[in-house]
Structure 1
Amino acid sequence: MTASFSQPLIASEYHFGGFLKANARFVDGNIAYQDSWTGGGSIAEPAKRTQFSAAESRFNVGVTHGGVKGFAEIDFSGSAQGNAAFSNSYSPRLRHAYISYEGLTAGQTWSTMVNTSTFAETADLGVPLAGQTMVRQALVRYSTDNWQFALENPYTYGTQAGSTEAVIKWVDTSNDYIPDAVIRYNQQGDWGNVSVSSLFRYLDPEDSAQFGAGVSVAAKLKTFGKDDIRLQLHYGNLGRYVGTDAARDMINGVIEQTTSAMFAYRHFWTERTRSSVFYGHTITKEEQTDRFHAGVNVFTNLTPVLALGFEVGRYQIDDEHNPYTHAPSPQGGSNYAQLSLQFHI
């Protein structure tokens, strides 16, 4: 006698989301034009430029099957295949692709150093990047109660000893073999939330065996009515984790030390209309970078799913000395204005 058993079928749940976003952006200054300000950039001849774009539009899908959850998201930023003379095509760019099961998360998503609730609401994508954590990468993370423990993709971004301005020797990443480790503690309540994260790293280019560590505090705090304060503070050997190219992991073979801060205050004028004022700043010890981004905006919901925003701000580079020549570095800044229309799907 034979018998067969089959488990009850469990239906998968699918959730689709994202947004369509149209931008009109004007930049005036001597920092080379960027679609959105990162903590990088270079000094150029003064120029004025206006660009329209829809490349920040984003699509995602979430799937739940029993206790297993999956999520994937794409957008089109920074992936141009064409140009204004030919097609204006943009390739899909993977942002997130991860699996979650019983507290375990594996795949590509926000680094455990990132507290997304503390991001300011801005028209310029993700700003002020010059003073905040903004890293997505492959990782394995375990979450339990208020704690998170993660091993994340190792990567050393920087320059080797003996680099000069004429010949910059980038760090050989073929010797990145110890994952970065992050421990994070979260606390939340009716007052908002706060997270404290610690990063531990082992950087071994050219068998230099250097250990790095850093700490990050991020918080979103409710104030009056629907208003809130959002802030981040970062210190230590954080390198590529903070400032989005404002800091590297190593300079001339020496591990970098970074100090960063971000602050934003959001005020609701009415139920539909609100403004944010924000400021982000990063300084480094070895490369002596000094970059900040400040701005103010106003958003209003034309409908529950359609928001119109206008923002003005300034991004500035006040680097001290070139780490290879020790001569004063070029300095400058650019002002910008941006209008955005965003339709949430």
Structure 2
Amino acid sequence: MKSITTLSLLTALFITFTSSASTLTETNYQMGGFIKANARYVSGNIAFQDSWAGGGIVAEEAKRTQFSAQESRLNVKVTHGEVMGFAEIDFVGSSQGNPIISNSYSPRLRHAFIQYEHITAGQTWSRLVNTSTFAETADLGGPLVGQAMVRQALLGYDIDNWQFSLENPYTYGTKKPSDNDEKKWIDTSNDYIPDAIVRYNQSGDWGNASLSSLFRYLDPADSAQFGVGFSVAAKIYTFGKDDLRVQLHYGNLGRYVGTDAAKDIINGQLETSTSMMFAYRHFWSEQLRSSLFYGRTSTQVEQTDRNHFGINLFTNLTRELEVGFELGRYQIDDATPEFNPIESPQGSSNYAQLSVQFHL
């Protein structure tokens, strides 16, 4: 009887303690995201893309219209004391059904990370990415061909104006041809040293700017190569509510910049790329605004040259509901690299896009 009484007392004390602790440290949940509907028309000899990335296939002249809601996005943020967790999905690029029946799209993980004090762990934006410098566009992501735009798993440490991270290593590219090996793409089984990024941020009433350095050790087929790249990004307020957004990138950045406009290694050689993105946003009135933007990446070894420019008009019908219309052009002006005597493709496509976005 005494042991039962003692157990009951301990149970009561535990329940009382945990109840008090949960009251002191509440768990907060925040849901977010948006529903986005697009109507997109593309005409030209670069094959249709849901949004322009830095790649592209030159094909026959064609015209295509597509309606879609796959860019819709859902997220949840959970905060408990000093710990914060964030997860987000969308439905881009993962078709499950088809236009004949359902137009279904599978969820795609964008973010899943934990923050505790100065530490970030999980999948989120690479520390090379300054999201405040993305242009406001109807085309998803804007001129990706000139931007740093990578999400991946990382371990980050932030203190004051400094950010440090170790990020998932991956070598994207092709190896030098061999008579005994017909495989073109690099074997990534030897990616074992994380990429390292150091970033410094500064902000004020004038806007914000970031300076980043990327350090990489690439070791495909036991041929060690060290890569270094640099990135500058800024959002600067100009007149009234207007702003200028800029990104400049140079070095062995490979997959980090241009969204498939440049590889890490091409034909066994370490690639060097130069990328830029400029966007100016002007407010015609409190709600009506336009962005004029341009992005470009060129490479030294593969001699690719890709660019994307456009102009748009956005307005808010309510605080949560916005409508945008955009005209633009994506162009491939690749040269012929010495190691590839086959003529490199060149082409362009024009597009028009209407988007309606409801922020949740």
TM-score normalized by the length of structure 1: 0.97
Where do residues 222-261 of structure 1 align in structure 2 (5 Å cutoff)? Answer: 222-261=237-276
Match of 1:24 in 2: 39
Where do residues 65-214 of structure 1 align in structure 2 (5 Å cutoff)? Answer: 65-162=80-177, 167=182, 169-214=184-229
Give the 3 Å change call, closer, same or farther, for CA 229–163 of structure 1 in structure 2: farther
Residue 323 of structure 1, CA deviation: 5.8
Residue 138 of structure 1, CA deviation: 0.1
Q: Distance in 2 between matches of 1:227 and 1:92?
A: 35
Residue 143 of structure 1, CA deviation: 0.2
For residue 201 of structure 1, what is the amino acid of its counterpart? Answer: R
- Are 2:262 and 2:299, in contact at CA under 8 Å, matched by a contact in 1? yes
1:267 and 2:267 equivalent? no
Deviation by residue 1:9-42 (Cα, 9 ceiling, x = unmatched): 1210000000000000000000000000000001
- Are 1:39 and 1:243, in contact at CA under 8 Å, matched by a contact in 2? yes
Q: Larger C-alpha radius of gyration, 1 or 2?
A: 2
Q: Which structure has greater helix proportion?
A: 2
Match of 2:355 in 1: 340
Residue 328 of structure 1, CA deviation: 2.8
Residue 293 of structure 1, CA deviation: 0.1
What is the SS of the residue equivalent to 1:243? Answer: coil
What is the SS of the residue equivalent to 1:265? Answer: strand
Match of 2:72 in 1: 57
Deviation by residue 1:166-187 (Cα, 9 ceiling, x = unmatched): 9551010000000000000000
Residue 324 of structure 1, CA deviation: 4.3
**Residue in structure 1 matching 2:291, options 257, 276, 279:** 276
For residue 252 of structure 2, what is the amino acid of its counterpart? Answer: N
For residue 274 of structure 2, what is the amino acid of its counterpart? Answer: T
Q: Distance in 2 between matches of 1:258 and 1:322?
A: 14
Q: Distance in 1 between matches of 2:322 and 2:288?
A: 9
Residue 325 of structure 1, CA deviation: 2.2
Q: Distance in 2 between matches of 1:323 and 1:128?
A: 28
- Are 1:314 and 1:335, in contact at CA under 8 Å, matched by a contact in 2? yes
Match of 2:3 in 1: none
Name the stretch that deviates more: 6-15 or 283-292.
Answer: 6-15
1:318 and 2:333 equivalent? yes
For residue 112 of structure 1, what is the amino acid of its counterpart? Answer: R
Residue 82 of structure 1, CA deviation: 1.2
- Are 1:288 and 1:323, in contact at CA under 8 Å, matched by a contact in 2? no
- Segments of 5+ residues of structure 1 without an aligned counterpart are none
What is the SS of the residue equivalent to 1:105? Answer: strand
- Are 2:301 and 2:337, in contact at CA under 8 Å, matched by a contact in 1? no
Residue 322 of structure 1, CA deviation: 4.6
Q: Distance in 1 between matches of 2:54 and 2:331?
A: 9
Match of 2:344 in 1: 329
Provide runs of 4+ in structure 1 moved above 6 Å: none
For residue 188 of structure 2, what is the amino acid of its counterpart? Answer: T
- Are 2:146 and 2:295, in contact at CA under 8 Å, matched by a contact in 1? yes
